[in-house]
Amino acid sequence: MNDELFRYPIIGKLNDEDLHSIRPYLTVHSFDNGTVILRQNQETAHFHILLDGILNVYVEQETKVHVAKLEKGQFVGEMSCLTGGAVSATVQAQGQVRTVSMPREGMLQLMDRSPEFRNHMIEAMIQRVTNTNHRVLEEYTRSSVVLRQLQEERQSHYGPLVGDGRFMRQLRKKITELSQKNEPLCIIGDRGVGKSHAAWEIHAQSGRSEHPFFVVEGKSFGTEEWEMKVRAAKGGTIVLEQADSLPSDLVRRLVHAPDETRFILTAGRRLHADVEHLEIPPLRERQEDLPALVYSFIAEAGFQNPESLISQEAMNRLSDFPFLGGNIQELKRVVHDAMVRSSGKEIRNSHLRFGSVREPGARPKIGLALGSGSVRGAAHVGVIKVLEQAGIPIDLIAGTSVGAFIGALYAGGQPVSAFEKVLPTVRWGQLVLPTLPLNGIVDNSPMVRFVEKYIGPVDFKDLSIPFAAVASDAVNGEACILNQGKVSRAICASTAIPGVMRPVKYGDKLLLDGAVAHPVPVALAKSMGADIVIAVDVSTPDDMKKEPKNFVATILNTMDIMSKRMIQDELQLADVVLSPRLKNNQITFKASASYIQAGEYVTRESLEAIKQKMETFVCC
């Protein structure tokens, strides 16, 4: 060991006595190629002297900016080790690297015993005082080489805008218009819809395209970083992501400060700041663009003829999925995962996996998908009752029509005992009012008062269990997922039976019963993050159907017939399907007790299957 120490840079020049005193502090490390030895903005208790190999030093901000290449005998981490501050840059091994490290105590002894090392430290401190981290970063960021690198990385990261549907055609036209403007802009939409991509396209088509394009995250906003990037982006574009996570007065000051930089904000909702807004709808509302996106993801993975690598059934299933967890980015993950499962051959339904990414060994999230079925929906209560008794958690609920009604009340805190007591006493007069038969014979606005009687005028975010409802657009029949705003109003929309009840005005749309689009919302439950979905189908089996006796029963029976194929398709996504055997000859709530019992019975029969599913997930 002593012979080797004499060959170490700096240390090897110490005499025997000094070498003996410093030796207990020394630790030799070996690092493989690409290993990060020190991470920017983290503190370190040791500094390193490079023995063999090469270390690359980067400042990491918008991109990796290469600052220095260190060779044998040079130091890293000495300032952070000495002062207790954060490391100013990331240090990464190039090839095989060996270092010798020591803590602050050893470092102080080395400074005392080695004039050469002491002089190095003094020079380093002078350099740091005269050239701070921010100035180094700004100089490198402003350099033409780095600007070119930034532009190339952005172009590679975002790629072209994909899709030829109506919305994408309008978006391209709007981007061209916005690229000619200089005023602040706010791009709004759900997570993963492509807000930052649209901002990049606006920048790339503008006269600012030769200048920097920087992004600042609102959730980790810092004044120093913002001011530095504004200076560095002079003449270009700076994007403030998640602007709705910051105080509105701060956002207003930031975007209206005089500067030569174009400010673009992204947010999940409209801001009160006086800026123009561009809205990008979620993927589920522009399904016509989905095939082109799927093909682009397959081609991006290196496959030719992507149209031949996915079956029509798999494409249809992708088109039906809501992608609440991340829109385009979530679609990309699902497609890439399916390609792995298909071994590069045709993607089929069996290769598609939806839902959240779960830590191995963690308890799976259980979701309920409660289906439509008018008064037969009382069976949902029986399902919930048995799950509770068996200790099976209910982590989230998706509901359609009566499933939304039951699911919302339960998510709002109503116990099963309250359902058992109240449901048999409910009368339609408490839920609807007669109206002129223009587009419905009744108006279900009293539903608002009924729901709020039990859970109050709550918003979705106030519910104790995550919940979402499905309604249908009265104009085009497309699914509308309701998971924001007043719960009671959403329940009105989800339960508005076509031809019987008036469509419900909800925002800028007219909505009807969700059974038209998703009779049993399994895909929605998966998209909300459920690992295991227990689907409850309360439609009437064919062998139990009876001739409807009145107009309303006829409408409900017709909806059941029309929904049958959709139910069969969507139930394929479920992990457990509960189908209580219920007759279709009841349109009052008087039979609720027997329906609840039917729900209990079918759930008890399936408890073992549910538990086995949970155990399988935990073991994975």
Which sequence positions are flagged as catalytic?
Answer: 401, 513
What is the identity of the amino acid at 11?
Answer: I
**One-character DSSP codes across 16-83:** HHHHHHHGGG-EEEEE-TT-EEE-TT-B-SEEEEEEEEEEEEEEESSSEEEEEEE-TT-EESHHHHHH
* Secondary structure of residue 254 in the 3-state scheme: helix
Contacts of 312 (CB under 8 A, 6+ apart): none
Q: Are 479 and 514 in contact (CB under 8 A)?
A: yes
What amino acid is encoded at 52 in this protein? D
149, 168, 147, 146: which is closest to 157 by C-alpha?
A: 149
Contact 541, 400 (CB under 8 A): no
Looking at 284-424, which runs of residues are DSSP E strands? Answer: 366-370, 396-400
507 vs 510: CA distance, rounded Å: 8
Contacts of 551 (CB under 8 A, 6+ apart): none
Our measurement of the distance from residue 399's CA atom to the centroid of its chain's CA atoms, rounded to an integer in Å, reads 21
> What does the DSSP 8-state code read for residue 590?
G
Q: What's the CA gap between 256 and 238, in Å, rounded?
A: 13
Phi, psi of 485 (to 5 degrees): 85, -160
Bridge partner residues of 432 (DSSP): none
Which residues in 571-589 are b (16+ Cβ under 10 Å) and which e? bebbbbbbbbebebebbeb
536: left (phi over 0), alpha (psi -120 to 50) or beta: beta
Work out the end-to-end distance of the chain between its first and last CA atoms, rounded to an integer number of angstroms: 47
Range 143-151, long-range pairs (CB < 8 A, 24+ positions): 146/63, 146/65, 147/211, 147/212, 149/63, 150/62, 150/63, 150/212, 150/213, 151/209, 151/213
Is residue 18 a contact partner of residue 113, using CB atoms and an 8 Å limit?
yes
**Do the Cβ atoms of 589 and 424 come closer than 8 Å?**
yes
Cα 324 to chain center, whole Å?
7
Torsion of CA 157, 163, 169, 173, to 10 degrees: 10
State the chain's maximal CA–CA distance in angstroms.
106
